[in-house]
Amino acid sequence: MGYTIAQKIIKNHLVSGEMIAGNEIGIRIDQTLTQDATGTMAYLEFEAMGVERVKTELSVAYIDHNTLQTGFENADDHKFIQSVAKKRGILFSRPGNGICHQVHLERFGIPGKTLIGSDSHTPTGGGMGMLAIGAGGLDVAVAMGGGAYYITMPKMVRINLTGKLAPWVAAKDVILEVLRIMSVKGGVSKIIEYGGEGVKSLSLPERATITNMGAELGATTSLFPSDDITREFLKAQGREEDWCELVADSDAVYDEVIEIDLSKLTPMAAMPHSPDNVKPVEEIGAISIDQVCIGSCTNSSLSDMLKVAAILKGKKVAPNVSLSIAPGSMQVLNMLALNGALSDMIAAGARILESACGPCIGMGQSPNSKGVSLRTFNRNFEGRSGTADAGIYLVSPEVAAASAVTGVLTDPRTLGDVPNIEMPKSFIINDNLIELPASSDDAKNIEVAYGPNIKPFPTSNALDNDICASAILKVGDNITTDHIMPAGAKILPYRSNIPFLSQFCFKQCDENFAQNCKEQGKGIIIGGANYGQGSSREHAALVPLYLGIKAVVTKSFARIHCANLINAGILPFTFENTSDYDKITQGDKLCLPNVRNLIDNNSPVVLKNITKNEEYPLCYDFSKRQKDILLAGGLLNYTRENI
């Protein structure tokens, strides 16, 4: 039996476990990336480990999230990250150099390599045949220190692409179709691989768009083969020597196969408030819009931007629409400026933003109240834009640009012939915003810069034998990490200040949550299905840890958040009978008696409802390593004990 692409990479990097779906495996990590919203905490964790220099082949620290500097906090965090990078052997991508995933694809990604990043959209690298996985910051810190990265061996799903995209239909429409088919829960514990003749018709940026939004499926990662298209892209970036061919074996076995005929797809949109709430643009109709935002790590490549510029050329943005455009990297912005495309955008009335994440994480450009915003981004969770009652639609750059001109949601197929876009044979290479680390000798004289907003990592203790606390919060299905720990311009600057952040925890679900936690000292959270979907931000586990949350019991978890809970030392359980979820009321007194001994001996665990005199059997499937982490009170404690 042959291997899939992912299995080949895993096999070459396997350090523990067997490649059997459901088993825990440890893999060697070649590259890591961080961004500043999660990176500050990741580097605080790395510093706490006492490792002198990173042990990966390549680690890069990007500044792309908290670039809005309305106070000292973001600038201080950037100085901290810059000093750690210089001292510990990490490349530092300065503000303005671009979005981490776009820049990494351009300058550092290598087919066949493993990459983990403290950002859930790290699977963007799968567009060039990397095994690229989003992870919590502590997992990234451990990998930088030379430790393996542990995951449950996923199942393999092949999406077989046939045909070719029709004019005005985009790569965004491909992944929206996949989300329509599989849902935001359909990729959990799976790796998605794309194959078939249709793959050859997709450029590397188009492939990266598809793997980027694979994160919205809940998938571990997504991959395309590394082929001549990949080689052409790397050659244009002056990195042809990094190319290697990587394809699935003809007799590889997949657990699931999905067929998609590209020629039958039409322009689509994900409607509020979920990426899988997908309908054809034609079916949704010409709804009036207030805002269009083009960019993000999903759709900010040079090819995307050139298409947008061509649609806008000689036209004017509708008077009822605010259009903002954020090129994904300095390279993209520079090339747009030199070939005149940037001028076409500006002349049409677009507001040009810096090369950063910006509106995607609620960092500026929040729409008006009850506004309708079309975005080429990857998430449209309620409130994520910074406006609680806004309606966010996820669309392709083509749909976005066409709609910006007409003032209503527009099927671009009504515009006539597709503009002819010619991609350059080579890109402008200018890495002067990437700082190299100091040598090992020089690094000894570098002091790490700690600003006043940087507070210590929250401490945790070894797991108690008995846990008794109230059901301090009960929430429904598809709770996102944005619900748990919001993003946005007002909150993101405090990502290195857990005590300050704690006042915003679960505020969208229960405005008294933080106060209740402080009054009671500890608590247990009850959740529905797919709890913790969305961003990889470990703050959604660290802040509840700080507030005294001891356990989270749900119908099911999103992968990264479950791992982050374990890393924080918070017990994640699921109901054996999902109907038991309905029996618990917020405020009920709950107990997990003898839980430490039960977990240590792999014995059944029961949740007792003291208020209602009921018992609910719980499920868990912790590996020996995960069990030891929980017993120690979290991954940092465990690492200190075993380093």
From start to end of 513-588, where are the E strands?
523-526, 549-554, 571-575
Q: What is the mean pLDDT of residues 455-473?
A: 91
Report the C-alpha gap between 344 and 442 in whole angstroms.
47
For the cut 80, the answer to whether the pLDDT of residue 18 exceeds it is yes
Cα separation values, 158 from 162, 252, 388, 540, Å: 13, 10, 37, 32
Q: Amino acid identity of 128?
A: M
Q: How far is CA 633 from CA 525, 565, 571, in A?
A: 18, 11, 10
Q: Is the distance from CB of 485 to CB of 502 less than 8 angstroms?
A: no
- Strand-strand pairing, 278-280 and 268-270: antiparallel
Q: Which of 173, 197, 405 is nearest to 309 (CA)?
A: 405
Query: Looking at this protein, which amino acid is placed at residue 321?
Result: V
Burial class (CB in 10 A: 0-12, 13-18, 19+), 122: buried
- Residue 365: CA count within 13 A, CB half-sphere: 30
CA distance 273 to 390: 10
Contact call for residues 255 and 21 (beta carbons, < 8 A): yes
What whole-number distance in Å separates Cα of residue 267 and Cα of residue 194? Answer: 20
- Give the Cα separation of 285 and 486 in Å (integer): 32
Residues 110-140 pLDDT 10s? 999 999 999 999 999 999 999 999 999 999 9
Q: Per DSSP, what are the bridge partners of residue 469?
A: 590
> What is the C-alpha separation between 556 and 512, in angstroms, rounded?
25
Q: Which residue in 194, 144, 380 sits closest to 269, CA to CA?
A: 380
**Class of residue 480 by CB neighbours under 10 A (exposed 0-12, middle 13-18, buried 19+):** buried
pLDDT band at 643 (very low <50, low <70, confident <90, very high): low
DSSP three-state, residue 207: helix
> Which residue's structure tokens are 């527009």?
410
Residue 534, pLDDT score: 84
Tens digits of per-residue pLDDT, 62-71? 999 988 888 8
d(CA 8, CA 94): 34
Half-sphere exposure of 101 (CA within 13 A, CB side): 34
Q: Is pLDDT at 496 greater than 90 in this prediction?
A: no
Q: How far apart are CA 264 and CA 162, in angstroms?
A: 10
Which tokens go with 576? 């054996």
In 224-247, which positions are buried (b, 16+ CB within 10 angstroms) versus exposed (e)? bbbbebbbbbbbbbebeebbeebb
- Say how many CA atoms lie within 13 Å of 170 toward its Cβ: 30
Output DSSP code: residue 633. Answer: T
Within 8 A by CB and 6+ apart from 325, the residues are 293, 294, 295, 305, 308, 345, 350, 351, 352, 353
> If you average pLDDT over residues 555-562, what whole number do you get?
93
Mean pLDDT of the chain: 95
Domains defined for the chain, CATH in brackets: 268-415 (3.30.499.10), 467-642 (3.20.19.10)
Tens digit of pLDDT for each residue in 158-178? Answer: 999 999 999 999 999 999 999
- Note the pLDDT tens digit of each residue in 224-265: 999 999 999 999 999 999 999 999 999 999 999 999 999 999
Looking from the CA of 559 toward its CB, the CA atoms found within 13 Å total 26
Upstream peptide bond of 273 is cis (omega within 30 degrees of 0): yes
Q: How far apart are CA 393 and CA 408, in angstroms?
A: 12
Does the pLDDT value for residue 642 go beyond 80?
A: no
Spatial contact of 308 and 345, defined as CB atoms under 8 Å apart: yes
Q: Is the pLDDT of residue 461 over 70?
A: yes
How many whole angstroms separate alpha carbon 1 and alpha carbon 255? 13
Q: How confident is the model at residue 311 (pLDDT cuts 50, 70, 90)?
A: very high
- Look at the block and give the residue holding tokens 């794309």: 194
Collect all residues with Cβ–Cβ distance below 8 Å to 459 and sequence separation of at least 6: none
Percent of the chain exceeding pLDDT 70 equals: 100
The answer to whether 324 and 305 are in contact (CB under 8 A) is no
The dihedral region occupied by 246, where left means phi > 0, alpha psi between -120 and 50, and beta the remainder, is beta
Q: What is the DSSP string of 264-329?
A: G---EEEPTT-TT-EEEHHHH---B-SEEEE-TTTS-SHHHHHHHHHHHTT----TT-EEEE--SB
